Structure 1
């Protein structure tokens, strides 16, 4: 099971990145789901296990898919066939779906600052984090005067500490080592 995921992951990521760049995530999702169903069909599954050249597999696969795949989808199938990976298409579709879900998700970010942030600062922080995290960001701002200056940003496991206290602590650790 994990072997299939390891093999399928680069294909899913490549397809997803292409779909994001070309703003066609929905169509790619549909093409991959359809292709996965074709591979899961018992008759097709048997045909894919027989000794056939990559060209024969591509022709067979594309004849079944007919107009369900656009030019880029057909090229994707060709690459997978040339590498003998058509059997992992269901896993590619699943991973693609997971990437799509992750992209649409939002992340809550806690921003603790020494002083109240202006709306412009909140907007800049939000935009910067959205680029870095590739997700929509919901800022939860609070004030902690003990930070002296700067802020601490927490988003899940990511912590960005640009507070004066944090910087002094890092300097102290560096000098002690």
Structure 2
């Protein structure tokens, strides 16, 4: 995985630079997400990985109708360099660059049960205060947490779950 990210990073940076140049980062984001979903499909992977596939045909498979010319040229470059399999990693890195440029922190809140909107608003307000940026929240439910929640905001993870507290208590008592 690390090697894939290393290979994908310069392509993601180039894609982001091209998208900012044209002022169309949102359109590139959608186009990359579509291409990454197609490239991740097992049937498409077999086809795209075939040594005899024509790069033009590969681009035709991955580009949405009406895609920008610069985007199709980008896909062509990936196809020529046999890097189409990196599209999911390129897309993830592109989204990180976009969020950073737009000063957005993406946070995932995993709770033991569905959280009410008021609690999510309070969590969002606290994260905005902590990071000084706009925050986009994604939610998930994991009943194994027993109670509380885990907030994953990039490099910051806040574990306020009962499961996490019990694990920390067990670790302390074992010493």
TM-score class normalised by the smaller sequence: 0.5 to 0.7
2:71 aligned residue: 73
Greater radius of gyration (CA): 1
Please give the alpha-carbon distance, in whole angstroms, between the structure 1 residues aligned to 2:36 and 2:88.
4
Please give the alpha-carbon distance, in whole angstroms, between the structure 1 residues aligned to 2:34 and 2:98.
16
Q: Deviations over 1:43-82 (max 9, x none)?
A: 10111222225xx133133145351522111100110111
Q: Is structure 2 residue 40 aligned with structure 1 residue 25? A: no
Partner secondary structure for residue 11 of structure 2: helix
Please give the alpha-carbon distance, in whole angstroms, between the structure 1 residues aligned to 2:34 and 2:61.
13
2:51 aligned residue: 51
Q: TM-score, normalised by structure 2?
A: 0.55
- Report the CA distance shift for 1:8/1:68 in structure 2 as closer, same or farther (over 3 A): farther
Please give the alpha-carbon distance, in whole angstroms, between the structure 2 residues aligned to 1:36 and 1:91.
8
RMSD of equivalent CA atoms: 2.1
Q: Does the aligned pair in 2 maintain the 1:33–1:93 contact within 8 Å?
A: yes
Q: Is structure 2 residue 4 aligned with structure 1 residue 4? A: yes
Please give the alpha-carbon distance, in whole angstroms, between the structure 2 residues aligned to 1:75 and 1:32.
13
Question: What is the deviation of 1:92?
Answer: 0.4
Q: Does the aligned pair in 1 maintain the 2:13–2:94 contact within 8 Å?
A: yes
Please give the alpha-carbon distance, in whole angstroms, between the structure 1 residues aligned to 2:6 and 2:99.
19
Q: TM-score, normalised by structure 1?
A: 0.55
- Report the CA distance shift for 1:79/1:37 in structure 2 as closer, same or farther (over 3 A): same
Please give the alpha-carbon distance, in whole angstroms, between the structure 1 residues aligned to 2:84 and 2:58.
12
Q: Is structure 2 residue 39 aligned with structure 1 residue 39? A: yes
Q: Is there any run of 5+ residues in structure 1 with no aligned partner, and where?
A: 107-135, 138-177
Q: Is there any run of 5+ residues in structure 2 with no aligned partner, and where?
A: 105-131, 134-175
Aligned residues: 106
- Report the CA distance shift for 1:61/1:2 in structure 2 as closer, same or farther (over 3 A): same
Moved over 3 A (4+): 63-66
Please give the alpha-carbon distance, in whole angstroms, between the structure 2 residues aligned to 1:12 and 1:31.
13
Question: What is the deviation of 1:42?
Answer: 1.4
Please give the alpha-carbon distance, in whole angstroms, between the structure 1 residues aligned to 2:29 and 2:18.
12
